[in-house]
Amino acid sequence: MLVLGLETSCDETGLGLYHSDRGLLGHTLHSQVGLHAPHGGVVPELASRDHLRRTVPLLRELLDQTGTGLSQLDGIAYTAGPGLIGALLVGSSIGRSLAFALGIPAVGVHHMEAHLLSPLLDPASRPHFPFLALLVSGGHTLLVQVDGLGQYTILGESVDDAAGEAFDKTAKLLGLPYPGGPALAALAQDGRSDRFTLPRPMTAKPGLDFSFSGLKTQVRLLIEAHPQPQHRADIARAFEDAVVDTLLIKCRRALAQTGLGALVVAGGVSANRHLRTALDSAAASDGFAVHYPPPELCTDNGAMVAFAGCLRLQAGERAPSDCGARARWPL
Ligand code: KG4
Ligand code: ZN
């Protein structure tokens, strides 16, 4: 089965082609970073218009690059939510229209499910169900027990800001340009761990929920107390250490609680090098396996949507008769 995936939930237009036997054939991506940067964040209206402008040229490029004809497609998957509603409607309208014209099925995919399954894209290091998933993106921080496709038990989630959102907001406080997460991580590389220490929120009591919004306030206080530019890298480092350590503590706790032996980490923040180093060394010392998507598939992309959609279509799922786009949609 050959499936085209369309991702348009936020500020990346991503298309991917996944074949159930041959794996990922290719993917194309356009980031809207340059479009939103002057505004300091994503402007929904601009995002929708840009998805509309980019999707068909990116589809042409993907078909050329993989030597695929539209008539070879067996199904189309699009991100149906959660995300910016106008942006989601672009992917769902194009995906559903194309599927109608080609006489093939369409399916709406949950964006976080697509992230969650993305480490399974690599057949060489594919984890087996069941496993624990840590999903860390700009909109979500979730610890999920994954027993199979669609069999998800939420063990913990953020009660306020998502991990990526905390990175982005803290980066803004530090005067870093949008998108803040990668910029903060780069600045933290030059910082020292032993200068400042920030709390590890919600780790003192039992439980698997997260809270990252308080860290922002702590960072603001640190910046006010140490306004000189030479302290910024150390403050960034203290923030990154606190987030990474908190995520690590909760992953260890969830693995112990569930008895699961494999951890899958996905979503934009899974690109963070410091997080990967910490999880890799915990995996080596505690004896669990850890899986990540390839670095270029950590942030939003169409490959993960094509893959999740292929699994859903193979399971017999089809898009509902309405547009199926949902700004809010629990996993
Ligand atoms: O998964 P994603 O592309 O979009 C959502 O579904 O939200 O995640 C984007 C988030 C942003 O908050 C971004 O700052 C963060 O992932 N991010 C990072 C890194 N790369 C992306 N955060 C920390 N370190 C990174 N290297
Ligand atoms: Zn995402």
Distance 291 CA to ligand 2 centre (A): 17
The CATH number covering residue 38 comes to: 3.30.420.40
Residue nearest to atom 6 of ligand 1 (CA): 137
- Whether residue 36 lies inside any domain: the answer is yes
Whether residue 167 is found in the same domain as residue 53? no
| Mutate which of 299, 329, 331 for ligand 1 pocket (most atoms within 8 A of beta carbon) | 299
Interval 246-287: pLDDT, tens: 999 999 999 999 999 999 999 999 999 999 999 999 999 999
Does residue 196 share a domain with residue 211? yes
Ligand 1 mean position, distance from CA 183 (Å): 11
Instruction: Looking at the CA of residue 12, tell me the nearest atom of ligand 1.
Output: 3
Q: Is 78 in the pocket of ligand 1 (CB under 6 A)?
A: no
The answer to whether the beta carbons of residues 77 and 109 sit under 8 Å apart is yes
Same domain for 66 and 152, yes or no, is: no
pLDDT for 284 equals 98
In a domain, 215, yes or no: yes
Residues 185 and 143 in one domain: yes
Half-sphere exposure of 296 (CA within 13 A, CB side): 11
**What is the chain's Cα-based Rg?**
20
The response to whether residue 179 sits with its C-beta less than 6 Å from ligand 1 reads yes
Residue 324 lies in a domain: no
Contact at 8 Å (CB) between 163 and 136?
yes
Residue 83 belongs to a domain: yes
4-13, 32-41, 210-219, 322-331: segment of lowest average pLDDT: 322-331
172 and 275 share one domain: yes
Q: Tens digit of pLDDT for each residue in 16-30?
A: 999 999 999 999 999
Looking at all shown ligands, the one closest to residue 162's CA atom is 1
pLDDT of 319 reads 77
What pLDDT score does 98 carry? 98
Does the CB atom of residue 300 touch ligand 1 within 6 A?
A: yes
- The answer to whether position 122 is within a domain reads no
Give me the domain span that covers residue 61: 2-117+297-314
Q: What's the 304 CA to ligand 2 centre distance in angstroms? A: 10
Q: What is the pLDDT of residue 125?
A: 85
- SS3 of 10, please? coil
179-233 confidence digits (pLDDT tens): 899 999 999 999 999 999 999 999 999 999 999 999 999 999 999 999 999 999 9
- Helix H or strand E encompassing 331: none
**In a domain? residue 140:** yes
Q: What is the pTM of this model?
A: 0.96
- Band of residue 124 on the pLDDT scale cut at 50, 70, 90: confident
Q: 8 C-alpha vs ligand 2 centroid, how far in Å?
A: 10
Report the domain count for the chain: 2
Q: Judge whether residue 141 has pLDDT over 90.
A: yes
Is residue 184 within 8 Å of residue 163, measured between CB atoms? no
Asked if residue 58 belongs to a domain, the reply is yes
ipTM of model over 0.85: yes
Indicate if the pLDDT at residue 296 is higher than 80. yes
Section 83-96 average pLDDT: 97
Report whether residue 267 contacts ligand 1, using a CB cutoff of 6 Å: yes
Beta-carbon contacts of residue 228 (< 8 Å; ≥ 6 apart): none
For the chain, give the percent of residues with pLDDT over 90: 95
Token output for 173: 């406080």
Question: With bands split at pLDDT 50, 70 and 90, how would you rate the model's confidence at 43?
Answer: very high
Q: Specify whether 107 is located in the same domain as 147.
A: no
Residues 285 and 302 both lie in one domain: no
Same domain, 151 and 249: yes
